[in-house]
Amino acid sequence: MIKRFFIILFSIAVFSMPASAQTNSSREDLQKQEQTLRKELDELNQLLEQTKKNKKNSLGQLEAIRSKINKRKSLINGIAKQVKILDDAIYNNQLDVQKLKKDLDTLKSRYQKSIVFAYKSRSGYEYLNFLFSANSFNDAVKRITYLKSYRQNREAQANAIDLSQNDLNAKINILGANKKDRLKTLEVQHEQLKVLVVDQKEQDKIVNQLKSKEQEITAQVRQKEAQRKKMQSALLTIIRRETLEAERKEKERLAKLKASNDASKITAKNNSDESNSLKTTSKNSKVGNVEGGLTSTTDNRPYSALETTEEGREASILFENNKGNLPWPVDRGNVYIHFGVENIPGTKLNRKSDGIELALPKGSSVKSVANGVVKYIGDINGDLTVFIQHGKYFSTYTHLSSITVSKDQEVRAGTLLGKSGINLDGEGALLFMINNEKGTFFDPESWLKNRR
């Protein structure tokens, strides 16, 4: 009986524990994401109001409202996940309450039986009769010990009933709080859905405006495409220059190695020692690998002239290893033009971007995303630009209003490069790009860490 009692008591202790830390952690993470999204939505609202003042910037308005809609959908999805977590918590807590009630009823039933037994055995006669009926003195001592432990067990049962009742009440309170929290969260979700409908109607309105301004929009798209190509051409020119310089230095290094080896061969030839001749043969074999042409300095990596030095190779590897975890170039700002080709709603026009464009207040601090060397600072087609090398990779920061670094300066992740400026539409923005030595551009959002 005592053993069963402790088994029940242990089960009550287990079920009275709070919901798993993982569930709480998941909800907290979602709430943090919600706060971040709300902050980004506030920034996009400010951007949209600003672009509305610029009557010619219909594209800017569309980009802002599309970003708002995407953020709003992410917010609603996050709230839906919170509701799912609360539903699971309510279900599990209901099971716990049922289990606690059942165990509490069992404890009360057994306690009631022990009280009835104690009542029937309350007279001294039954007590003495129980003792004197022992077969031996040792048996009598065991009976006294049993009676004492029985009384202690009854007291423990009473305490356990009080504790389990408290745990049950606490679990019921948690369940009630879960249900209230769920209703409140559903109300928030409903409000956001209504705002989403308003945003979508505003987007439809802007798209209809674009349809009536297709000639004007076409001119804007062509202007931005021309700017993109000029920027791309300028960057590729810088990359070719750096690649040629790296190849020149590598050829010089190999030429010096060859000259040094030729001198060693002449010395070895004049030496009649057979063992020295064998060493020379071995050395010639090694030099043949070097003279065979420019090869990769690291096994399993394709050749790159920008990785022929240890520093260049390490910079490339470090940059690659941090893919998906690079810091953002700005502390705030929303991506409203994404990487790649996008169709402009309401038109047959497509727009291409070699990077991401972030909307942010003019004068915001712009920082390097990784360790590297500044290879270019200056104006490219009217845009102040900083171009940084990270081994065989490059990062570009343009639409700047000022620059605080100099050419060939070594920078680290987080180094201030300058302040953000404006784009062609006159809006505060930063264009950020990542590419390699072959001129292949990558989606920066796949390299930067998730802000949420």
pLDDT digits (tens, 9 = 90+) for 23-46: 565 878 888 888 888 888 887 777
3-state helix, strand, coil in the chain (%, to 5): 65, 15, 20
* Domain encompassing residue 115: 2-212
Q: Residue 96 domain-assigned?
A: yes
Of the candidates 212, 231, 251, which is a domain's last residue?
212
86 forms beta bridges with none
Q: Is the pLDDT score of 6 beyond 60?
A: no
Whether 118 and 80 share a structural domain: yes
What mean pLDDT value characterizes the chain? 79
Q: Is the pLDDT score of 132 beyond 70?
A: no
DSSP state of 433: E
Of the candidates 257, 279, 309, which is a domain's last residue?
309
Q: Residue 158 domain-assigned?
A: yes
**Tens of pLDDT, residues 276-297:** 443 443 333 333 333 333 334 4
Q: Is the pLDDT score of 316 beyond 70?
A: yes
Q: What is the pTM of this model?
A: 0.66
Please give the pLDDT value at position 14: 46
Number of domains in the chain: 2
Q: Residue 104 domain-assigned?
A: yes
Of the candidates 167, 189, 212, which is a domain's last residue?
212
Quick check: 199 and 68 in contact, CB under 8 A?
yes
Structure tokens at 222: 């062509």
Whether 73 and 115 share a structural domain: yes
Picking from 181, 171, 3, 189, the residue whose alpha carbon sits closest to that of residue 80 is 189
Q: Residue 180 domain-assigned?
A: yes
CA distance 52 to 48: 6
Whether 141 and 275 share a structural domain: no
Q: Are strands 356-359 and 334-337 parallel, antiparallel or unpaired?
A: antiparallel
Range with top average pLDDT, 253-257, 260-264, 316-320? 316-320
Quick check: 355 and 434 in contact, CB under 8 A?
yes
Q: Residue 389 domain-assigned?
A: no
Question: Picking from 98-102, 291-295, 304-308, 436-440, which range would have the lowest pLDDT averaged per residue?
Answer: 291-295
Residue-by-residue DSSP string for 371-407:
SEEEEEEEEETTEEEEEEEETTEEEEEEEEEEE---T
**Tens of pLDDT, residues 395-448:** 999 999 999 999 999 999 999 999 999 988 888 899 999 999 999 999 999 999
Q: Are strands 365-367 and 356-359 parallel, antiparallel or unpaired?
A: unpaired
Please give the pLDDT value at position 99: 85
Question: Picking from 149-158, 314-323, 411-420, which range would have the lowest pLDDT averaged per residue?
Answer: 149-158
Phi-psi domain of 7 (left: phi exceeds 0; alpha: psi -120 through 50; beta: other): alpha
CATH code of residue 75: 1.10.287
Q: Residue 359 domain-assigned?
A: no
Burial class (CB in 10 A: 0-12, 13-18, 19+), 298: middle
Q: Residue 379 domain-assigned?
A: no
Whether 186 and 233 share a structural domain: no
Whether 226 and 116 share a structural domain: no
Which residues make Cβ contacts (< 8 Å) with residue 434, sequence separation at least 6? 355, 393, 394, 395, 396, 441, 442, 444, 447
Please give the pLDDT value at position 434: 97
- Percent of the chain scoring above 90 in pLDDT: 37
Quick check: 405 and 418 in contact, CB under 8 A?
yes
Please give the pLDDT value at position 131: 56
**Tens of pLDDT, residues 177-211:** 889 999 999 999 999 999 999 999 988 888 887 77
Q: What amino acid occupies position 62? A: L
